[in-house]
Each structure stands twice: as structure tokens, then as C-alpha cells.
Amino acid sequence: MSMPLTPEEILIPHAITSLKIRSGGKPDLRKVGQQIYDLLNIPPRKRESWKKRMKDVQIKPDHLYGPKEVKVVLGVSYDTAVRAMERMKRTANLAKPRAKKRLLRVKGSDLRDYIQGKLE
């Protein structure tokens, strides 16, 4: 069996210990709860920390790139890369004619042209 903790054994953060004690020697629980909530919900300093770092990628003009490689080059999600590839000129769908899935490929030179068009 665990023994109940005495008030001296309970560790209380510094921000909460600065409370004014109400009559009867008990802290105002509404203020304590609000301070705990505020401490737990401090906004993160870098919200973009989940994104991967940009990598230096060499684009070969004669290489065929799939959505995974385009995703890395453009720094977007897989689905966004597929949509971007559909908008590019001369995108090749290498899937069989009646296949449900697309097998999109784009040449490196066309990918460069797309990026140049976006930068202008």
C-alpha cells in the first residue's frame, strides 16, 4: 500500500507556489488549474519542426522522375507532387491502358522548366 504524501513531499512548480493562500490555508483551485493549463499549453517556438530539412538535389535532364523524387525536389507532399506532375507538360503515364493506378514520370528537363516557371 502506498502512503499518502504529506504537503512537504509534494513538488509544486515555482509559478504555482506564488499563489495567495485563501482563508483556511488552501489555495484557490481555479487559479491553480488555470496556471497549470497555461504552463502545459505554451505555444511551441518552431511549428515547422516536423518538416524535413531541404536537401540539395541534382536534377539530371534525361532522367525520369517519379512522384517520390518530385516530392523531395519541390518540398511538398506526395499528393501535391502528383497534382503538380499532372499539370506539367509532357508527363508520361507508364501504366497499362486499363490500369487503375497511374505510373507518372516526368523528365528532369521538364521538371526544371516547371520550377523555372514557378520562380518567374
- The grid coordinates listed for 39 are 504552463
* Rg of the chain in Å (alpha carbons): 29
Spatial separation of the C-alpha atoms in residues 75 and 93, rounded to whole Å: 22
Spatial separation of the C-alpha atoms in residues 79 and 76, rounded to whole Å: 8
- Residues 60-108 have pLDDT tens digits of 889 999 999 999 888 889 999 999 998 888 888 888 888 888 889 999 9
- Residues 6-41 have pLDDT tens digits of 555 555 555 455 555 555 677 788 888 888 887 777
**Helix 78-87, helix 67-74: angle, nearest 10:** 100
